[in-house]
Amino acid sequence: MNDTLKNDFEDSFEKSLKSLGYLFPTSEDEVVSFEARNKLEETPENFCSAIDLLSKAKHTLTNPKTYLENNKTITNLAWAARKGGDIPEAILKKMKSDRDKAENDEK
Amino acid sequence: MTKAIILQPLTNEVLAELFLSMAMKEENRTEAERAFSVFYNRYKNYLYTIVNNACRSWEMYGDELIEAVFENSFLTVYAKAESFIVIEDIPFERQENRMKSWLGKIAKNEMLQLLRQFKVDKDMIDYTDDLTSFINIEEETEHQATSDYLLAEKALQTLSERDRSILTTYLMFEDGNRNLPSIEIQRLSDMWNTHPDNMRQIKKRSLAKVEMYIKTNKNK
């Protein structure tokens, strides 16, 4: 049996989450409920205009592993800084190697 | 005597005409771009809001994912404009919400496609750019009471941040016989420092917990 087939409860819970905005509202009913419960936000000013958008190609994303590795490096640095004093050369070297590895994985 | 000015509602033809103009981009690019600008300015805040909300479970991608889903969704509308002309067959009073529901489906599809582009398990996410699967005229109208939504939100809040994130990610991906791709399972396990094998159990337990909460509190 395929265990992704949803039961009635899961269906109705999912519908509620769409109306609340945790998932994309995909029916008219969910759109009405979503708008009743969420204030529309202004599109950020740094987003491009309609005409500029038409000259762009579709996006692709950076590999999420890079984000994780970079975040790990930043966490290491912050931790080292909190401990005070200079960061030992060996740790700096390891951090640099983590960062380089993450960047290479991305390519 | 002052004459009352009655503002005409947006007619079925207006949206359909915008799509027609966009569909004829090869014949008249200037008019197609003007039509797209009208459409973009009308729906940009709505689309941004639903994308921004739904991306809460994918915080690790930062604003990049939000912007990518937002822009890719609009680019799909422009590229496939002819698919949307059928909106003229939908009664005026439902047209606006129907368009928004289609935008939700397009945005979800775009998000799945973006996540599919990663090397690992790229075939596990079933993406299609065939819009005919959801651009249909008939639509189910199963209504839910407002109290159900409120209860669902309260039930969700009883979960830990980890369990909430895992459950919503599963629900976003799983549709019929589609599975949560292992790249996403790995991402979740990295993020929450949990073994990938435990993910399905966490989802199952979380769902059971919210179901119990809703059943217990439904008639209070």
Print the SS3 string covering chain A. CCCCCCCHHHHHHHHHHHHHCCCCCCCHHHHHHHHHHCCCCCCCCCCCCHHHHHCCCCCCCCCHHHHHHHHHHHHHHHHHHHCCCCCCHHHHHHHHHHHHHHHHHHC
Q: Do B104 and A5 touch (CB under 8 A)?
A: no
How many other C-beta atoms lie within 10 A of the C-beta of residue B41? 12
Question: Residue B141 and residue A68: Cβ atoms within 8 Å?
Answer: no
Which of A73-87, B43-57, B138-152, B175-189 is predicted with the least confidence, judged by mean pLDDT? A73-87
Give the confidence band of A2 by pLDDT, cuts at 50, 70, 90: very low
Closest CA in chain B for residue A71: B60
DSSP for B2-32? PPPPPPPPPPHHHHHHHHHHHHTTTT-HHHH
- Contact criterion met (CB below 8 Å) for B101 and B139: yes
**pLDDT at A91 (0 to 100):** 58
Q: What is the largest CA-CA distance in chain A?
A: 60
pLDDT over 70 at A63, yes or no:
no
Measured distance CA(B27)–CA(B16) in Å, rounded? 17
Closest-CA distance of chain B to residue A57, Å:
8
B56 confidence band (pLDDT: 50, 70, 90): confident
Better pLDDT: B141 or B60: B60
pLDDT tens figures, B74-120: 999 999 999 999 998 999 889 999 999 999 999 998 988 887 665 44
Please say if the pLDDT value at position A49 is more than 90. Answer: yes
Indicate yes or no: CB of A60 within 8 angstroms of CB of B114: yes
When CB atoms are compared, the residue of A20, A28, A54 closest to B152 is: A20
CA-nearest of B77, B8, B16 to B44 is B77
User: Distance between CA B57 and CA B55 in Å, rounded?
Assistant: 5
Quote the pLDDT of residue B119. Answer: 40
Question: What mean pLDDT is reported for chain B?
Answer: 82
Residue B67 has pLDDT above 90, yes or no: yes
Q: Which pLDDT score, from 0 to 100, does residue B125 have?
A: 46
Over 50: is that where the pLDDT of B124 sits?
Answer: no
Which of B149, B158, B161, B164 is the best mutation test for A, with the most CBs of A within 10 A?
B149
Average pLDDT over residues B159-183: 82
Question: Which pLDDT does position B53 carry in this prediction?
Answer: 92
Predicted local confidence at residue B122, as pLDDT: 40
Candidate from B48-52, B95-99, B139-143 with smallest mean pLDDT: B139-143
Q: B2 falls in which pLDDT band (50, 70, 90)?
A: low
Judged against a pLDDT cut of 80, whether residue B176 lies above it is answered with no
Could you give the CA distance from residue A63 to residue A66 in angstroms, rounded to a whole number? 6
pLDDT greater than 90 at residue A37 = no
Give the C-alpha separation, B193 to B187, whole Å. Answer: 10
CB B166, CB A44: distance < 8 Å:
no
Residue B4 has pLDDT above 80, yes or no: no
Span between the terminal Cα atoms of chain A, in Å: 40
State which of A74-83, B180-189, B210-219 shows the largest mean pLDDT: B210-219
On whether the CB atoms of residues B12 and B88 are closer than 8 A, the answer is yes
* Cβ-based neighbours of B130, under 8 Å, separated by 6 or more: none
Question: Lowest-pLDDT range, A48-52, B55-59, B118-122?
Answer: B118-122
Please give the residue that has the higher pLDDT: either A104 or B171: B171
Calculate Rg over the CA atoms of chain A.
22
Cα angle: A17, vertex B183, B73; to 5 degrees: 55
Q: Which DSSP letter does residue B88 get?
A: G
CA distance A76 to chain B (A): 16
